[in-house]
Structure 1
Amino acid sequence: MPVRALVVDPSASAAVRLAEVPDPVPGHGQVLVDVSHASLNYGDLNDARSGRVPVGAVLGADAAGVVIQAAADGTGPAVGTQVVALTAGAFAERAAIDVGALAEVPKGLRLAQAVALPVAGVAALRSLRAAGLGPDKRVLVTGASGGVGRFAVQLAARAGAHVIASVGSTARGEGLAEFGADEVLIGLAGLRRPVDVVIDSIGGPQLVAAWNLLAPGGSVQSVGWTSGEPAVFPPYATVGPAKSLTSFVIEGDVGADLAILTELAAEGALIVEIGWQGSWERFDEAAEALRGRRIPGKAILELGSGELHTPVPSPQD
């Protein structure tokens, strides 16, 4: 029995369309999940056009729903458990998901909130961990108004770091001080003192500027490249006291980190901000708002009946 899914189609307006695909068959260490919510990431939009996800394949990485078939090997959650996962092909009504790629959703946390965490939350958590986050660090987060950025600001502040949030406009910086940012800057204007950690999702010239601000022994984690612009380093910019620029990608099982993030969110220690929420039949609308940077936080897609829902308006709309 086929299920509906959002698949890659270069001829569609957002390179994505709703289609029917075969019902997934779970492997030995996988559960079958009835997906009710998905989260749209900037990387999904790139995947739909870059060829990384083949034409006709199901798009997406963030899914949340209910287990309807337990894993055959006896591992993982039981039938009826609400879960959130980071998995390929997330934008489908049903998905076969590795037990290591998911976490149970704690009581008190809505699925619409939990589904915002996999890509953005895990990227924030792991990039900060890789950079050597600590209470004595000065941490610069670029693109701080986006999904990864807002989680990175909160997690770095929670660790006791001095957090500098860089955004594209005053409006985009609203709420970041409440999330724990000690400084909120437009671009990098006024930043003179060196920083120890940079979580960069912008790329281009701003990545070069952030590198120049990095203290000896510091680390830049490149988690995205939303600018679409090249980063041109002047001669000798990379010659001098040791510091590092590291490419970042999420690899391996994420279940343990998802459990940490969902527990923090359930406790109210990690705020999930949803800037757009509506039916997956309004994918084009969500994609346009995300690409136009009109969404603070995350865009959440509701799967299922096809009924249209009123999106949560952006403060800038």
Structure 2
Amino acid sequence: MRALLVDHTAPGGLRIGAAPDPVAGPHQALVEVKATSFNFGDLSHVRDLPDGTVSGWDAAGVVRTAAADGSGPPAGTRVATFGGEPAWAALRAVDTAELAPLPDEVDFGQAAALPVAGLAALNALRRLGPLLDRRVVVTGAAGGVGRYAVQLGALAGAHVIAVAGRPERAKGLRELGAAEVVASLGEITSPVHGALDNVGGPGLAALWELLAADGAVISIGAASGEPTVFPPYSTIGRRRRLEAYVTDVAAGSGPDLAYLVGLVASGRLDPQIGWRGSWEQAAEAAEAFFARQVNGKAVLDVS
């Protein structure tokens, strides 16, 4: 099959080449991939992988062969997929517990933009508890996870404060449901109930100081690449909570993925695709992604 292979001599560290077809286990469907997407995590991980590796986390396509154990949808079903098997390829073997059927209203590109970023935002917000009329901060709000978090938080009734460092990155955040859009945490002067942090570094420590009693900050990513240092005793004796979000691909995320798909189909969730093109343009997409020129998700159509 054709696939995006790690190649450290190629632009963006990726090139299209030949890879062995995946062999589906009894509880896996074999999916013909129609679209895939980039995340900060999987793109960053490329530099640590040996040449010839196929990676990627998100994909959408059509079931070519149904799971042998009878679970999951039949052949010919359009699906969004998540899981541990490589997604940047023409074929993907997927545990049936990690896929969701697609209605006609959702195209493959929209579906491919959902899994990692959408599930991360959804599950992190759930960890904050009830959100109705609660002040919630989202850092890195211009990225894929951030734009989902803004929308899902607003749908849950939260007063969402979106943090985006540059005006061009902040475009559209109010339309997605942000009650406030700020360029830095220093502009937030009142305590918040919770925060979703995609940036890490000094900002994570600053978010900790902004939390009200019984508030929580969920650390999703560390796009800043900087360490977080908490002042002495700042974490002692306070009724606050700091959690690290960990994606568990063995947990059976299919129902949650189906929920997100349903929101897209009904027009209540916008996948926010900031770049879309052929996977032949993977290097261009990766370059734009790392240059922070993509507001939302970068989607690649597979051919």
Please indicate the TM-score interval, normalised by the length of the shorter structure.
over 0.9
Could you tell me whether the CA contact under 8 Å between 2:6 and 2:51 is conserved in 1?
Answer: yes
Counterpart among 125, 128, 134 of residue 125 in structure 2:
128
**Runs of 4+ off more than 4 Å:** none
2:4 matched to which residue of 1?
A: 6
For 2:296 and 2:20, locate their aligned partners in 1 and report how far apart those are by CA, in whole Å.
33
2:297 matched to which residue of 1?
A: 298
1:57 matched to which residue of 2?
A: 53
For 2:70 and 2:254, locate their aligned partners in 1 and report how far apart those are by CA, in whole Å.
17
Q: Does 1:228 align with 2:225?
A: yes
Counterpart among 182, 190, 208 of residue 179 in structure 2:
182
Could you tell me whether the CA contact under 8 Å between 2:165 and 2:184 is conserved in 1?
Answer: yes
Q: How many residues align?
A: 300
| SS of structure 2 residue aligned to 1:136 | coil
Counting only pairs closer than 5 Å after superposition, residues 14-33 of structure 1 correspond to structure 2 as 14-33=12-31
For 2:15 and 2:80, locate their aligned partners in 1 and report how far apart those are by CA, in whole Å.
23
For 1:127 and 1:55, locate their aligned partners in 2 and report how far apart those are by CA, in whole Å.
33
Counterpart among 39, 42, 60 of residue 41 in structure 1:
39
Deviation at 1:86? Answer: 0.9
Q: Does 1:261 align with 2:260?
A: yes
1:311 matched to which residue of 2?
A: none
Q: Deviations over 1:89-139 (max 9, x none)?
A: 000001111101100012211111111100000000000001214203211
Calculate percent identity across the aligned residue pairs: 51
For 1:230 and 1:266, locate their aligned partners in 2 and report how far apart those are by CA, in whole Å.
40
For 1:219 and 1:32, locate their aligned partners in 2 and report how far apart those are by CA, in whole Å.
40
Residue ranges of structure 2 left out of the alignment (5+ in a row): none
1:158 matched to which residue of 2?
A: 155
Counting only pairs closer than 5 Å after superposition, residues 46-85 of structure 1 correspond to structure 2 as 46-51=44-49, 54-85=50-81
For 2:130 and 2:166, locate their aligned partners in 1 and report how far apart those are by CA, in whole Å.
27
RMSD, matched Cα: 1.2
Q: Does 1:142 align with 2:139?
A: yes
Deviation at 1:279? Answer: 1.1
Deviation at 1:240? Answer: 2.8
Deviation at 1:55? Answer: 4.1
State the one-letter code of the partner of 2:298. A
For 1:209 and 1:50, locate their aligned partners in 2 and report how far apart those are by CA, in whole Å.
30
Deviation at 1:281? Answer: 1.4
Could you tell me whether the CA contact under 8 Å between 1:59 and 1:89 is conserved in 2?
Answer: yes
2:287 matched to which residue of 1?
A: 288
Deviation at 1:84? Answer: 0.5
State the one-letter code of the partner of 1:188. L
For 1:217 and 1:4, locate their aligned partners in 2 and report how far apart those are by CA, in whole Å.
50
Could you tell me whether the CA contact under 8 Å between 2:273 and 2:297 is conserved in 1?
Answer: yes
State the one-letter code of the partner of 2:226. E
Deviation at 1:63? Answer: 0.4
For 2:6 and 2:258, locate their aligned partners in 1 and report how far apart those are by CA, in whole Å.
30
More off after superposition, 143-152 vs 128-137:
128-137
For 2:100 and 2:17, locate their aligned partners in 1 and report how far apart those are by CA, in whole Å.
28
| SS of structure 1 residue aligned to 2:187 | coil
Deviation at 1:185? Answer: 0.3
1:310 matched to which residue of 2?
A: none
2:206 matched to which residue of 1?
A: 209
Could you tell me whether the CA contact under 8 Å between 1:32 and 1:97 is conserved in 2?
Answer: yes
For 2:15 and 2:216, locate their aligned partners in 1 and report how far apart those are by CA, in whole Å.
39
1:243 matched to which residue of 2?
A: 240
For 1:303 and 1:72, locate their aligned partners in 2 and report how far apart those are by CA, in whole Å.
26
For 1:119 and 1:98, locate their aligned partners in 2 and report how far apart those are by CA, in whole Å.
15
For 2:103 and 2:257, locate their aligned partners in 1 and report how far apart those are by CA, in whole Å.
11
| SS of structure 2 residue aligned to 1:14 | helix
Residue ranges of structure 1 left out of the alignment (5+ in a row): 305-317
More off after superposition, 94-103 vs 42-51:
42-51
State the one-letter code of the partner of 1:18. I
Deviation at 1:297? Answer: 1.0
State the one-letter code of the partner of 2:295. P
Q: Does 1:200 align with 2:197?
A: yes
Could you tell me whether the CA contact under 8 Å between 1:35 and 1:63 is conserved in 2?
Answer: yes
1:117 matched to which residue of 2?
A: 114
| SS of structure 1 residue aligned to 2:154 | helix
TM-score, normalised with respect to structure 1: 0.92
Deviation at 1:172? Answer: 1.3
| SS of structure 2 residue aligned to 1:164 | strand
State the one-letter code of the partner of 1:85. T
TM-score, normalised with respect to structure 2: 0.96
